[in-house]
Structures are given as structure tokens and as C-alpha cells.
Structure 1
Amino acid sequence: MKITMAQLNPLVGDLEGNATKIIEACQSARQKGAELIIFPELTLTGYPPLDLLERKAFISANLAMKEKLIEKIMGIAFLFGYVAINPGSEGPELQNAAVFAKDGKILGEIRKVLLPQYDVFDECRYFAPGKTAEPVLYGGLRFGITICEDAWNSEDIPVQKGYTENPVADIAPGSDILINLSASPFHVDKVRLRDQLFSGIARQYAIPVLEVNQAGANDTLVFDGASTAYDRKGNIIGRAAAFEEDLILVDLEKNTGDIRLLPEREEDQIHRALVTGIRDYLHKCGFTKAVVGSSGGIDSALVLALAAEALSAENIISVFMPGPYTAADNFEDTRLLAENLKIRLDIVPIQQTMEAMAASSSLFDPESHGITEQNLQARIRGTLIMGYANRYHALALPTGNKAEMAVGYSTLYGDMNGGLAVLGDVSKTRVWALSRRINEKAGFALIPERIIEKAPSAELKPDQRDQDDLPDYGVVDAIVAHHVEDLEDAESIIARGYAENEVRDVIRRIQLNEYKRQQAAPVIRITSRSFGYGRRYPMACRLHY
């Protein structure tokens, strides 16, 4: 049987738009000789729909659109995800579902059994668990169908334990083909994990496995696509592109299919994820332009390079706002960066504004370099950036990295201003690696080498360096990764060989600055645990490390 795997990039809530994508994909697949086309989890609504699921009108419209698609699509069998009503009396009123149909007739209804309730997933809030369905018979073959998490109850994958059911073990032995409809968000190493999981299932049950994943980004979650077909020995026989919509055709009789190349290097995967996150967030929210405060430092340079790729150079405004402590080389570096990226550069000095504001109140001491006077500069810059955002209907992109967000090395209502934190889940070490990789692929110093090599500085007082207040960024990054992503306590990190005073200081700062992160722009997620709604910590608390 020839099957098309339709890797789509839905817009959450856009039932009409998503249905149009489904119809167009079905037409294309039918023309290419496919007998069945399969779509990702909740394709009709987009994933994750979050509290839209509390709107009864939205649920009714989703059900009406499902019926319309069943009536309209002819000449090919299709399988897509939607939101169903829970027929039972226990639990929430809804279920995460999929329908298998052809020529106006429903061949099978599937309900998601395992509902993830960790990190960014909160499905028990909305859905009741279903029961493992019987295989769907079509074309003389038995299709075992699972939805995303249903396949992840595996001892080989240390992601989530504690499930009492294993839908794959229940349905695979009686199936000829296993299908998994996914909306599996990207993080570093996710493709390897999925390959390990699904190729293992194929080998264990000696059946082909087709996993079709969502692509693109919705809010802070990026979906890398990379939908994959495995033969009964676990070999890859079909692979869709990474981070973008794609339709691939798989011939299960011949064990062949379309295979796209995926980015192999970690830097390339993260780069693609960030570009996708920027492009989809802005476009899906109705923006075409972005404005970035350029400092002459590496963080803002990387954000500008990524934004220029995501949105095209003519839609990027770089604003350089030198102050009294701005180094002379930053004037040249910001100009050269803008020339290389072919983006607009505006230079708006802030010293006169700073002096006027400092003179307007006894609150400020013009002779002091204290935190009040330092933050005044950051907040003047933040106000100017938001002025540009208003004037040009552009989204402001703050430039803080994960280390800075973790320890609070940023100014609330200043450099934190903006609508999407591009680097909020990217360590400083990775910022350097991504920048060097951009230059390597460009074949020249697209990001000027001096920007990459210079010592990081906020330039809010004379001769300031980040490392005057913080440990080396390599150390900060490691402590943040162990504590935030791996959930290790201080003693565990100290046992790894890190200095006790540095470990306890970084963790203390992480705790104290939760209030800042709660007010920060949404963070594009590229690790297994980012600062965002997948990490829910109290702001008012006291922990002893």
C-alpha cells in the first residue's frame, strides 16, 4: 500500500485554514497514487489548543468541520486528529481523538489513551483518557493507530514513567501496520529519541511503523516534523523534512519512500528551530517586522542574524543606542553587522536623555554608578525599542540568553522589553557556538569576529564586565543546565566538581529572579526544560541551598 505522510504546520484555532490544508494535501496525495494519507495529532485544531478547549463554540465548530471533511474528501482514505466528546460520565468532557474515513464513511474512531502531564503538557486538564481501539481494517490490512504519548510508555525511553497501560503492546500484535499521530515538540536530541523509540517498536513487533509529526511553531513550542516511516526491521524507509511542511510517499510493499536529509549538527538543529520559532510566532500573530536593540555584543548580533533569516532583511530594524560607557569598537561592529546582514540600522544616542532624566529628580545621582543609575540606561533603551515597535508595527525581540534569564542579569522594563525571547532557552556557550557556525556556513565573518571574541559587558558603568558579577559563563551554563533542566540539587552539582560558593550563588539567583521571568517575553523552547509554562515555580518562596 502507498501511504502519504502529511506533515503540516497548523495554526491553532484556525479550523477553516487547517481544513483547507487537509483538503489540499489529500488532493496532492491522491494525484500521486496514495491510497491513504495520515496527518498529525489534532491537525484540525492545531496543537496545543490550550484553553480554547473550554470554549463550547470552538468544540462544536471543530466537530462540524470534521463532518464536513468526511463528506467532502473523496477517492482516498484519510486519518487526522480532532477533538471529540467524551462519551463516558467520568473525567473531562473531551477526548483527544482521530478519525479514519473514506468516501463519506467512517472506518474507525481512535481516542488517545495516555495523557501526558509533565513539562509543557497538561492534557489531563482538558481530556479524558480513551481506551485502546481495535485495529482499523482497510485495503486488506489491519492498522493499529496510536496518538503521540500512547507510544511513549517504553522502558527504553526515560521520558515518563508511571503509566499502567501500554497501548502499543495492546494493539501492535494484532496489526499489520502501526501508525502514530504526533505533535511532538522539538528539543535538542529529540529526533534521536524518536528514532530509538519507534525503530525499537518496529523491531519488537516486526511491523512497519509510521510516525507523522507536526511541523512549525505554535507560541513557544517548535515542532521539528521529521516524520518517519520504519520497516519491520526498524530501518528508515521514509523521512520528511525538518521544521517545515512536507508530504512524503511511502510504499510499504516495496519498503521504499521519500527521504529528506535532516540537519545533523546540534548547532544546525537549534538554528533551524529558532528561525522557525521567530517566523511562525510573528507571522501567526500578524507581524511582519521585528526591531532589535543592537549593542555590539554577541547576543543581539545573533538575534539579528536569526531574525533576518526568518523574516528577510528588509523587515528588520536594528537600533544602536550608545550611552556614556559604550566602547568605541561597538559603533564600528554594529555598523559592519548591519551591512553584512543588509538590515536597517538606526543610531539613537541616549546620553542626553539619561542626563535630563537624572537631573529631573533627586532619586538619581549623576556621580553614581549604582544599580539605579545603571538600570535607568537600560530602561531608556527599552522605552525607545518599544517606541520603534509601536511606530513600525514591529515586534520587539529581547536578546537575553538563558544564563542571563536564570540569574536575573537583565533589567525588568528595560532590555527585557519585547514580545519573544529568542535566546531565552539558549545558553551563552551555545550562543557562541551558533554564531561561529553561522560564519562557517556563510564562508566569512557575517557576524564580525570581534563581536564573538570580545568580553561580554552590559556597559552600564565604566570598565564593566559580566564576569565582575558572575562566574565564567561556561560554569553558569553548566550549573543552570544541571539545576533547571536535569533538576539536580546543589549537593549533586557540587559533587560534580563545581565550586560550592559558585553553585549556591547561581542557584540562589535562579530562585530570587523567578519574579522577573514571570514577566519576561515568551521563550522559544529548544531544551528539555525551558523557562516558560512548562516550568512552574512560585515567586514567593524560601529554599535553603
Structure 2
Amino acid sequence: MSSPVLVAAQCAVQAGDLVANLALHLDFMRRAGELGARLIIFPELSLSGYEPALAGALAQPADSPLLEPLCSLAMTAGMTAVVGLPLRVPGRDKPQIAACILHPDGSRAIYIKQHLHAGEEQFFSAGQGGELLLVEGTSVALSVCADFAHAEHPAEAAERGAQVYAASVLIGEGGYPHDSSLLQGYAQRHGMAVLVANHGGPTGGWAAAGRSALWDEQGRCVASTLGVGNRLLVVSRHLHGWQARDVALSA
């Protein structure tokens, strides 16, 4: 039995340019739809770029009109889209780092980053995570960047029955060997596939490594994208294991 097609959208975004980044997200979603995707995962803070100093001014409410074109396309394409955005929360003076979940039935949900990197607390407040996604019978747990640095996070996802651990991240060149080793270890230890969507270009002063990747339930790296740039890692599981391909957005 095959799993739905899942896509890690590795995008090179513009700092603080919500309009340009929205257009890029729509391009990714259209291409993913052509490839049969039922779930597309974007990197951390993908709509704004990872720009902590700008986050307060760029923060959007959960019902932001900015998301409407993405919601409409998710409905048309029959896919769930997970996009990154600084979230404005009533009663909080700092935004939260959100993964906005846009379902094909038009509904929305939110996953909030639980664990902040050192220094992020100056600009953001931590959140409480979110529920598992069910995508055509496949259970998917979300993670945003530093969440996966805490071993209890993927462990809890596995305990809740996640078959795929999907992480929206910003990983730089210097951190990639360590972080990819952690993620590979989680896949092997918990017997769940790990899918990572990394930034494909510089953001927030970081040189993102790209190389969005999938590790299978044995911890084997099935595939990763070729370096940086706007690319889609398209994955699905079949009788004899996971299949994956790296697709340039312009292809």
C-alpha cells in the first residue's frame, strides 16, 4: 500500500517581503499539485524569512488575509500546506513562531514552536506545539527547528503514533552535520520517517545549507536536495520502501 505524496519545499525567500514570498509559495504549491502532493511542508518562518528583528512588525493573526490565496490553492489542489509565519497572539507582546496548517477543506490549524534557540526569546515567545496531522491515513507530527534539538520532542511524536516526523527548519552549513545526524538518529530510534524542509538561500544572516532530506524508518537517507536553491523533495512510501526525487522549481 502506498502513502500519499509528501513534499518538502526548499525555498530561497526574500527578507521581510511577504508579498514576494507569498508568490513563491504559490509557485511551489502549484508545482507540488502537478506532482500529486497531498502535503507540502515549508521551512521555518518561510513567508517572512527568518528575520527575528522584523518579526514584530511582520506578525500576522491566525486568520490573516495574507493566507487566503494559499488556502484557496490548497483547496483547489486537494493538499495540506504547512507554511511558516510570525504569529500575532492576543495578550502577548512578542509573536510566536508558527507553522500555519491550511487544510484542503478550507479549515486552518496552528502549530507553535515549543523550544526557542538561545537569543530568540528576545523577539519571540514559546508555544505549545500542536496536534498530529492525518494525511490520507498517514499520521504526521510537525516540528519547527529547535524543537528537534530536544530528544523528548520526536520521542513524544512517536509515542503519539506519528509515522512521519516533518521538520520545518533553518539549518546553516556549519550546523548541518550535527543536526542531520540527530534527525537520522531519531528516525532509526523511533522507527518513523523524518522529512526536513530547509531554507534554500540566505536568511537572517545565516547561510542556509539547503539539502532538505528524508530518512526512512531505519535511519537511511533516502534522498536529499542538491544543495541550495528553490527545490522540491517529493517523497512517498510504497511496498518496498520510500521513493524520493529532487525537483527544481523551474522544471
TM-score by length of 2: 0.87
Structure 1 contact 92–126 (Cα < 8 Å) conserved: no
Name the structure 1 match of 2:20: 17
Name the structure 2 match of 1:180: 167
Does 2:56 match 1:54? yes
CA deviation after TM superposition for structure 1 residue 132, in Å: 2.9
Name the structure 2 match of 1:103: 104
CA deviation after TM superposition for structure 1 residue 110, in Å: 0.3
From 197, 208, 215, give the equivalent of 1:212. Answer: 197
From the superposition, tell whether residues 54 and 38 of structure 1 become closer, same or farther in structure 2 (CA, over 3 Å). Answer: closer
Runs of 4+ with >6 A deviation: none
Name the structure 2 match of 1:64: 65
- Separation in 1 of the partners of 2:210 and 2:68? 27
Q: For this pair of structures, how many residues does the alignment match?
A: 238
Task: Kindly report which structure 2 residues correspond to 1:312-391, keeping only aligned pairs within 5 A, or say none.
Answer: none
Structure 1 contact 237–258 (Cα < 8 Å) conserved: no
Structure 1 contact 136–142 (Cα < 8 Å) conserved: yes
CA deviation after TM superposition for structure 1 residue 109, in Å: 1.4
- Separation in 1 of the partners of 2:109 and 2:191? 23
> What's the C-alpha RMSD, in Å, of the aligned pairs?
2.1
Task: Kindly report which structure 2 residues correspond to 1:76-87, keeping only aligned pairs within 5 A, or say none.
Answer: 76-86=79-89
Unpaired segments ≥5 residues, structure 1: 155-165, 261-545
From the superposition, tell whether residues 245 and 195 of structure 1 become closer, same or farther in structure 2 (CA, over 3 Å). Answer: same
Unpaired segments ≥5 residues, structure 2: none
Structure 1 contact 77–103 (Cα < 8 Å) conserved: yes
- Separation in 2 of the partners of 1:251 and 1:60? 33
Name the structure 1 match of 2:223: 238
SS at match of 2:46: coil
Structure 1 contact 207–232 (Cα < 8 Å) conserved: yes
TM-score by length of 1: 0.41
| 1:259-300: CA deviation from partner (whole Å, max 9, x where unpaired) | 69xxxxxxxxxxxxxxxxxxxxxxxxxxxxxxxxxxxxxxxx
| 1:357-396: CA deviation from partner (whole Å, max 9, x where unpaired) | xxxxxxxxxxxxxxxxxxxxxxxxxxxxxxxxxxxxxxxx
| 1:427-450: CA deviation from partner (whole Å, max 9, x where unpaired) | xxxxxxxxxxxxxxxxxxxxxxxx
Name the structure 2 match of 1:202: 187
- Separation in 1 of the partners of 2:99 and 2:193? 20
Structure 1 contact 108–136 (Cα < 8 Å) conserved: no
CA deviation after TM superposition for structure 1 residue 80, in Å: 1.2
CA deviation after TM superposition for structure 1 residue 180, in Å: 0.5
Structure in which a larger fraction of residues adopt helix? 1
- Separation in 2 of the partners of 1:53 and 1:220? 14
From the superposition, tell whether residues 123 and 67 of structure 1 become closer, same or farther in structure 2 (CA, over 3 Å). Answer: farther
From 119, 130, 152, give the equivalent of 2:149. Answer: 152
From the superposition, tell whether residues 222 and 27 of structure 1 become closer, same or farther in structure 2 (CA, over 3 Å). Answer: same
Give the letter aligned to residue 56 of structure 2. E
Which of 1 and 2 has higher RCO (CA within 8 Å, sep 6+)?
2
Structure 2 contact 60–85 (Cα < 8 Å) conserved: no
Name the structure 2 match of 1:283: none
Structure in which a larger fraction of residues adopt strand? 2
Name the structure 1 match of 2:176: 191
CA deviation after TM superposition for structure 1 residue 78, in Å: 1.2
Does 2:110 match 1:123? no
| 1:138-191: CA deviation from partner (whole Å, max 9, x where unpaired) | 21122110100000124xxxxxxxxxxx3222222221211000012222xx33
- Separation in 2 of the partners of 1:202 and 1:167? 13
CA deviation after TM superposition for structure 1 residue 104, in Å: 5.2
| Identical columns (%) | 22
Name the structure 1 match of 2:39: 36
Structure 1 contact 70–104 (Cα < 8 Å) conserved: no
Which structure would you say has the larger Rg? 1
- Separation in 1 of the partners of 2:140 and 2:72? 22
